[in-house]
């Protein structure tokens, strides 16, 4: 495994020696990393979930045991385990490739010896990922990367299955770091791999347990933000183990960002606003993968869609896909909805909102909660009314109301379900990254999902393969293909 981590080309370069890392790990850097990372502890995406009838006591105050006597976990309530198991079984049906990997491994344990400490959303879908790693021989300990997205019943099912999980829905910021710490600092167990979503776990190990990097062989990072931080660490010469960038894998970009958003944008809008889409005028800011998915879904339901873009290539794509590319300031007066998908900050600002019509809906599908300038909307002359979960009205002095969804955070994370099948593709890629990181991995992951659609691939003839200069069975695209 280490061999692959070191060899493959898309890995972020991290050849610094561990001693070098320890030497350079200055307090100043730690502080700045800590600040930027803690801002993101509630971002990233997964299916929204809410467990009802929770008791109010903190899980930290309870001593719980599984039916087999395990107590090395901290979750809301172990008695939810059987419900969580059913959730996981339903997700398994929509995550065929991971199940195929388990079967293909047979009794073999290709990940034997891997001790994975993970920090991701804890949902039925990630449970399928975690249990696949275990089925392939890895030992896992897990914490949540998001204080809101944990499915308590799923966490209970994982604990009951013998996995040490430290997470519950609605953790405080302090609980969040406590859970990560408990996950990392087991007395008789030391991780040799990290699977992170957002970079918080990696940051914590750097900050508190830097000597662990002597044993850690690599990091698999899923999110844009986490990858950005790894690049920063690498640039500063402080990244001392190989890191895998799942976010830039073809399978994540092409499927997760595009199809996941295409499938969940309408659901998020419907659940929060009951809005009808036909004939509505919508502006989508950003025509990258996420923007393309949102535009396609809205157009299919008869909405009139406008696009804003800074990049002429994406603007041209939008134009040729039939969308009018326009500046937000030119269209903002007449639209019924504004959806941000840029990964940028302050794309929608007070000035735009001042000009929107009464009842205009604004929401974000892009990065964290930075795309809509919320600070500007907290001005003294505007009133905020919390109308229902994930829906706030911002009221202007003349009575105009703008509808803000999910407090400007990712709408589909907060208010809708994310399709397991799409998550399966990224999750399978994550498992694969423990073995290798080639175009072949992406193609293999895609091929494992094709049988669901009874799709039959055409095979290249020897002559055709020779003509194209590629192998008959792939890789079909170069590593830089996106
Ligand atoms: N909601 C989800 O489920 C989900 C899923 C995947 C990714 N994301 C997030 O969505 C964001 C976008 O992801 P992507 O894959 O589409 O990225 P991308 O880079 O492909 O697309 C972003 C687009 O926004 C454009 N842009 C940047 N600033 C702009 C501005 N001020 N006005 C108009 N356009 C602007 C860029 O030119 C680019 O084309 C990222 O932050 C990513 O983390 C969300």
- Ligand 1 centroid–CA 159 distance in Å is 36
Q: What is the pLDDT of residues 170-209, one digit of tens each?
A: 899 999 999 999 999 998 999 999 999 989 999 999 999 9
Report the distance separating Cα 166 and Cα 118, nearest Å. 10
Is the domain of 233 the same as that of 338? no
User: Is residue 408 lining ligand 1, measured as CB closer than 6 Å?
Assistant: no
- Ligand 1 centroid–CA 6 distance in Å is 30
Is the domain of 82 the same as that of 127? yes
User: Is residue 294 lining ligand 1, measured as CB closer than 6 Å?
Assistant: no
What does the chain come to in residues? 482
Backbone angles phi, psi at 215, to 5 degrees: -105, -20
Is the domain of 107 the same as that of 171? yes
Is the domain of 196 the same as that of 277? no
* C-alpha closest to that of 366 among 400, 413, 416: 413
Residue 41: what pLDDT?
33
Tell whether the model's pLDDT for residue 24 goes beyond 50.
Answer: no
Instruction: Let me know if residue 348 belongs to a domain.
Output: yes
Report the distance separating Cα 195 and Cα 116, nearest Å. 7
**Domain limits for position 272:** 259-415
Instruction: Let me know if residue 12 belongs to a domain.
Output: no
Is the domain of 368 the same as that of 340? yes
User: Is residue 414 lining ligand 1, measured as CB closer than 6 Å?
Assistant: no
Helix (H, G, I), strand (E, B) or coil at 397: coil
Residue 344: what pLDDT?
87
Report the distance separating Cα 84 and Cα 438, nearest Å. 35
Please indicate whether residue 37 or residue 426 has the higher confidence score (pLDDT): 426
14-20-24-25 Cα dihedral, nearest 10 degrees? 70
Is the domain of 219 the same as that of 274? no
Tell whether the model's pLDDT for residue 31 goes beyond 80.
Answer: no
Instruction: Let me know if residue 426 belongs to a domain.
Output: yes
Angle at 79 between CA 76 and CA 80, to 5 degrees: 70
Please indicate whether residue 303 or residue 34 has the higher confidence score (pLDDT): 303
Report the distance separating Cα 287 and Cα 179, nearest Å. 37
Instruction: Let me know if residue 4 belongs to a domain.
Output: no
Q: What CATH number does the domain containing 308 carry? A: 3.40.50.720
pLDDT-derived band at 251, boundaries 50, 70, 90: confident
Q: What is the pLDDT of residues 362-417, one digit of tens each?
A: 999 997 788 999 988 999 999 999 999 899 999 999 999 999 999 998 898 777 67
Is the domain of 110 the same as that of 207? yes
Instruction: Let me know if residue 186 belongs to a domain.
Output: yes
Query: Which of 43, 197, 258, 342 most suits a substitution to test ligand 1, by most atoms within 8 Å of the C-beta?
Result: 342
- Ligand 1 centroid–CA 214 distance in Å is 36
Domain boundary among 398, 415, 432: 415
Q: What CATH number does the domain containing 183 carry? A: 3.40.50.1480
Query: Which of 145, 264, 269, 288 most suits a substitution to test ligand 1, by most atoms within 8 Å of the C-beta?
Result: 288
Residue 445: what pLDDT?
85
Report the distance separating Cα 302 and Cα 336, nearest Å. 13
Q: What is the pLDDT of residues 67-121, one digit of tens each?
A: 999 999 999 999 999 999 999 999 999 998 899 989 988 788 999 999 999 999 9
Contact (CB, 8 A) for 199 and 40: yes
Report the distance separating Cα 441 and Cα 220, nearest Å. 14
pLDDT-derived band at 5, boundaries 50, 70, 90: very low
Is the domain of 109 the same as that of 242? yes
- The count of structural domains within the chain is 2
Report the distance separating Cα 50 and Cα 455, nearest Å. 36
Please indicate whether residue 169 or residue 51 has the higher confidence score (pLDDT): 169
Residue ranges for the known binding site are 123, 197, 222, 252, 256, 288-293, 309, 412
Is the domain of 214 the same as that of 296? no
Tell whether the model's pLDDT for residue 39 goes beyond 50.
Answer: no
Model-wide pTM > 0.75: no
Could you count the other beta carbons within 10 Å of the beta carbon of residue 313?
9
């Amino acid at each position: 495994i280490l061999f692959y981590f070191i060899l493959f080309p898309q890995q972020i370069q991290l050849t610094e020696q561990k001693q070098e890392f320890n030497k350079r790990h200055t307090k100043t850097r730690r502080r700045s990393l800590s600040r930027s990372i803690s801002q993101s502890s509630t971002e990233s995406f997964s299916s929204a979930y809410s467990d009802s009838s929770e008791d109010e006591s903190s899980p930290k105050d309870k001593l719980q045991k599984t039916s087999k006597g395990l107590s090395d976990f901290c979750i809301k309530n172990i008695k939810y385990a059987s419900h969580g198991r059913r959730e996981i079984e339903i997700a398994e049906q929509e995550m065929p490739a991971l199940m195929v990997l388990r079967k293909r491994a047979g009794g073999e344990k290709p990940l034997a010896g891997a001790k994975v400490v993970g920090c991701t959303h804890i949902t039925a879908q990630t449970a399928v990922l975690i249990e696949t790693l275990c089925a392939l021989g890895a030992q896992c300990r897990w914490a949540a990367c998001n204080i809101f997205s944990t499915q308590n019943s799923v966490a209970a099912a994982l604990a009951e299955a013998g996995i040490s999980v430290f997470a519950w829905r609605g953790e405080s910021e302090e609980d969040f770091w406590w859970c990560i710490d408990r996950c990392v600092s087991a007395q008789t167990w030391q991780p040799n791999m990290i699977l992170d979503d957002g970079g918080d776990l990696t940051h914590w190990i750097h900050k508190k347990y830097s000597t662990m990097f002597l044993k850690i062989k690599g990091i698999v990072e899923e999110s844009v933000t986490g990858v950005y931080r790894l690049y920063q660490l690498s640039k500063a010469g402080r990244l001392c183990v190989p890191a895998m960038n799942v976010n830039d894998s073809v399978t994540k970009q092409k499927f997760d960002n595009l199809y996941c958003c295409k499938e969940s944008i309408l659901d998020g809008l419907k659940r929060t606003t009951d809005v009808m889409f036909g004939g509505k005028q919508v502006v989508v800011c950003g025509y990258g993968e996420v923007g393309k998915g949102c535009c396609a879904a809205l157009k299919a339901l008869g909405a009139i869609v406008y696009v804003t873009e800074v990049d002429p290539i994406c603007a041209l794509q939008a134009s040729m896909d039939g969308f009018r590319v326009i500046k937000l300031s030119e269209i903002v007066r007449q639209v019924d909805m504004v959806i941000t998908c840029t990964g940028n900050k302050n794309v929608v600002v007070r000035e735009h909102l001042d000009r929107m019509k009464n009842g205009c809906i604004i929401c974000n599908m892009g990065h964290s909660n930075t795309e809509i300038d919320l600070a500007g909307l907290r001005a003294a002359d505007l009133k905020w009314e919390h109308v229902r979960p994930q829906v706030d009205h911002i009221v202007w002095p003349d009575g105009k109301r703008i509808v803000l969804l999910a407090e400007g955070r990712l709408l589909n994370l907060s208010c809708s379900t994310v399709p397991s099948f799409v998550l399966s593709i990224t999750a399978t890629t994550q498992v694969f990254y423990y073995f290798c990181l080639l175009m072949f991995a992406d193609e293999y992951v895609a091929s494992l999902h094709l049988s669901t659609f009874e799709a039959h691939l055409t095979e290249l003839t020897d002559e055709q393969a020779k003509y194209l200069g590629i192998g008959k069975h792939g890789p079909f695209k170069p590593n830089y293909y996106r």
